[in-house]
């Protein structure tokens, strides 16, 4: 079964990427809170940049975010210039 962005569902590898991405989103959010930056949500650009710097490919990031979204673990919405991602 394919997800919204072409990722697979129930794949162990996608689950690992999803877990890594969830931690990245939490890191970005915690950093913004610590520095008193509002809004504290992560943007897709920030998540992709941090994930790629940790060795994930664009496809792995997309599939991992797709898994998190379909599992109801993240909320995604529009900002003026990007998409925000928030852990639920």
Angstrom distance (rounded) from CA 65 to CA 76: 10
- Tell me, yes or no, whether 53 lies in a domain: yes
Give the predicted TM-score (pTM) of the model.
Answer: 0.84
pLDDT in tens, 5-15: 444 555 677 67
pLDDT in tens, 6-55: 445 556 776 788 889 999 999 999 999 999 999 999 999 999 999 999 99
- Tell me, yes or no, whether 52 lies in a domain: yes
Closest CA to 85 of 61, 63, 69, 67: 69
Q: Could you identify the residue written with the tokens 């639920």? A: 88
- Tell me, yes or no, whether 4 lies in a domain: no
Burial 20-35 (b: 16+ CB within 10 A, else e): bbbebbeebbeebeee
CATH number for the domain harbouring residue 61: 1.10.10.10
Show the domain range for 44.
12-87
């Amino acid at each position: 079964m394919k997800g919204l962005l072409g990722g697979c569902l129930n794949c162990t590898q996608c689950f690992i990427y999803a877990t890594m991405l969830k931690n990245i989103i939490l890191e970005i959010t915690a950093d913004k809170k610590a520095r008193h930056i509002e809004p504290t949500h992560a943007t897709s650009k920030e998540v992709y940049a941090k994930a790629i710097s940790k060795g994930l490919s664009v496809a792995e990031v997309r599939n991992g975010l797709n898994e998190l979204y379909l599992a109801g673990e993240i909320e995604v919405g529009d900002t003026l210039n990007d998409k925000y991602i928030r852990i639920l």
